[in-house]
Chain A
Amino acid sequence: MSALLEVEGLVKRFPVGGGAAGWRSMAGRFGIGSAGAPARPMLHAVDGVGFAIGRGETIGLVGESGCGKSTLVRLLTRLIDPTEGSIRFGDTDIGAIPAAQFGRSPDRARLQMVFQDATDSLNPRFTASDAIADPIRRLKPGLGGAALRRRVGELADLVGLPQTLLGRYPHQLSGGQKARVGIARAIAVDPELLILDEPTSALDVSVQVVILRLLEDLKQRLGMSYLFVSHDLNVVRLLCDRVLVMYLGKIVESGPAQAVFEAPAHPYTRALVSAIPTADRERQARRVHLAGEQRSPIDPDPAICRFYGRCPRGADLCRTAMPVLTPLAGEGARAVACHFPEPAPL
């Protein structure tokens, strides 16, 4: 499987705090003697992330809020610029194209996104038809008039949205119908990679099943790759071939979804998987409880494992050397960033 997207050493840091630091930055901007001043505190949102997505592959991205999932997604969709690192998409390093210009780049059409909240992400003054036609108008300007209307109709059929609803505004559509519009809009320009940010979290289970099936079906028919971001691990497991687990800006574990969920190796993944609610009393009893709070993402010590302090293990080595993502012995497809990986069933 040739890689469609290859990310290497991706870093995004945000400056934080105002006060003196804010003034220093201001001074720096106007070129007034900021030399020698201590650096501004930085929030390390994404810290040296690397992975690849093959053609036709579905990758799940999981992790708790604040782990950097959304920042990573915004970097990949080129809504914000990376601090360091490369994002190779096909033959181009799209990471080098400034975000402000990416909207007009031909690569924009190849990489599309389905947003978390179908209600908030649709323009309330656009009908379903306008919403679906908008990206085509912007990115495939050759298509217009009757041809455009025909294409919108085709897309509606593809996502199972009755064509009679195309004239409706978002507030006249149900949650499931809005989700379909969001998907139709994203696939309108024939993307090769679709990034889905919690596409079903706002939906009832009855509708969720239908949308998940639709996504699976579209993938088969159109041959797209998916990056599926979710914190519902049961849903990730249903749809994904491989899974990436993030914790505080770093990937701590990656591998085939089946293997990772059945025998998680990183202590954080173990806690995450064991936290899935279950009626099984034995599984409940084996639950891994995390103590303490997340470490601060602001100027973290590069020598201390990010999970140190919450990790049930927490050995001396863990606060003197940052573990790097290394292939798990005997299992080439899996990698874990832990000094003491423990790939055992829960």
Chain B
Amino acid sequence: MAGQAGAVLADAAAAVPLLSVEELSVDFRTREGTVRALERVGFTVGRGETVGIVGESGSGKSVTAYALMGILDEAGQVTHGSAMFGGLNLLAAPERDLQRIRGRELSMIFQSPRTALNPIRAVGKQLEDVLLRHGNLRARDARDRAIELLAQVKIPDPKRRYAAYPFELSGGMCQRIMIALALACSPALLIADEPTTGLDVTTQAVIMDLIRELAADHGMATVLITHDLGLASEYCDRIVVMHAGHVVETAPMAVLFDAPRHPYTAKLIAATPHFGGALHTLAAIGGSLPDLRGALPPCRYATRCERRIEVCDQPPLSRDWIAADHLVACANPL
């Protein structure tokens, strides 16, 4: 089962990352001007690795995911960059190639499972749709496989739930269906966009453990998009911090939390309530996200930053690899 993850990927050398995003820029054309939603975003995801993308709302986390999946809104346009996924540039590939890959080698879980599922189709049928499109299964085997998949995401009584509609299931159950859909063809990479937002903390633990377990079983890599640093710290190997469409810092999880170098990362960690903390120890982040229309300073955090120096206002934005796996986009790092 694990072995089928990819004709496209078969000949890729082990040292080459599974996904390598470089200089990705996305603009949105709106009536009020062009919004520079992403500017030169870059990161890599290794095989079987879990990478977290964290940041506040409006930082460009979801736009990054949508651009990679090729499902950007019509107003959005990739203006620059590449995203190599096993020899194929996702940003330049023809729609036909993307359709072959999406759902089979590259899958996505969306934020609100109830709206992402088809409300008027039984969940088992929705699973069959994916299997028949990608799985090289005969129609009569698809039903059994769909029930197997429901059991795999630990849905009690999968035979009966096969015929259930999304409205008959709880939020946690719907998210399990989303996971079953995304993992139906054992993709090499799963993009999970806020998979547990709106779920209870106990359900969140179940869903995240399930993703982690299935990822380990199938050697699948995961990109976890979240605004919850606590969640990212538990489940991710590496973290990419985004702010206003820029990647400001990338580092292994422990390094990032113990010794953040970008002032924004440090502020974000200090603002997050953690177990055993007190209200007076939490620090607010001053200012707000800059308007992404019109002229922007090279560093988009500069207007909020307490460590701003003269160099910060001179292009280009400083990007330093301070270690082999640690990138900081700051002229005056901590």
Contacts and interface: CB of A to CB of B under 8 A. Distances in A.
Interface stretch (B116-124, B143-151, B272-280, B313-321): B272-280
A238 to B, nearest CB: 5
Interface in B196-217: 200-206, 208-209
Interface stretch (B106-114, B187-195, B222-230): B222-230
Contact of A64 (B200, B231, B279): B200
A278 B156 contact: no
Interface in A191-239: 204-210, 212-213, 216, 231-235, 237-239
A287 B205 contact: yes
B201 A279 contact: no
Contact of A234 (B200, B230, B288): B230
Interface residues of A, number: 36
A143 interface: no
A235 B273 CA distance: 6
Contacts of B202: 64, 271-272, 275, 290
Contacts of B230: 234, 276-279
Contacts of B99: none
Given A64-B200, A277-B228, A290-B202, A234 B277 contact: yes
Interface in A25-55: none
B296 interface: no
A284 interface: yes
A238 B268 contact: no
A275 B253 CA distance: 20
B239 to A, nearest CB: 11
B1 interface: no
Interface string B251-276: 00110010000000001100111110
A17 interface: no
A275 B273 contact: no
B56 interface: yes
Given A206-B267, A209-B283, A64 B203 contact: yes
Contacts of B227: 204-205
B284 interface: yes
A65 interface: yes
Contacts of A302: none
A174 interface: yes
B288 to A, nearest CB: 7
A278 B272 contact: no
Q: Which of A235, A275, A279, A292 has the most CB of B within 10 A?
A: A279
A293 interface: yes
Contacts of B81: none
A239 B279 contact: yes
B73 interface: no
A206 B271 contact: yes
Interface residues of B, number: 40
B56 A277 contact: no
A205 B288 contact: no
B282 interface: yes
B271 A209 contact: yes
B303 interface: no
Contact of B234 (A205, A235, A279): A279
Contacts of B233: 277-279
Contacts of A235: 273
B156 A205 contact: no
Contact of A205 (B56, B200, B257, B277): B56
B309 interface: no
A174 B288 contact: yes
Nearest to B200: A64
Nearest to A62: B201
A238 B201 contact: no
Contacts of A237: 273, 275
B57 interface: yes
B203 A234 contact: no
A238 B253 CA distance: 25
Nearest to A210: B284
Contacts of A276: 201, 230, 275
A238 B272 CA distance: 11
A211 B56 CA distance: 16
B166 to A, nearest CB: 16
Given A231-B201, A277-B204, A279-B233, A208 B279 contact: no
Given A238-B282, A290-B202, 20 more contacts: A64-B201, A65-B200, A204-B56, A204-B57, A204-B227, A205-B227, A209-B282, A212-B279, A212-B282, A213-B279, A232-B201, A234-B277, A275-B201, A276-B230, A277-B208, A277-B230, A277-B231, A279-B234, A284-B234, A292-B156
**Nearest 6 CB-CB pairings of A with B:** A206-B285, A279-B233, A64-B200, A234-B273, A277-B230, A275-B205
12 contacts: A208-B271, A232-B201, A233-B201, A234-B274, A235-B273, A237-B273, A237-B275, A271-B202, A277-B235, A278-B234, A279-B230, A279-B233
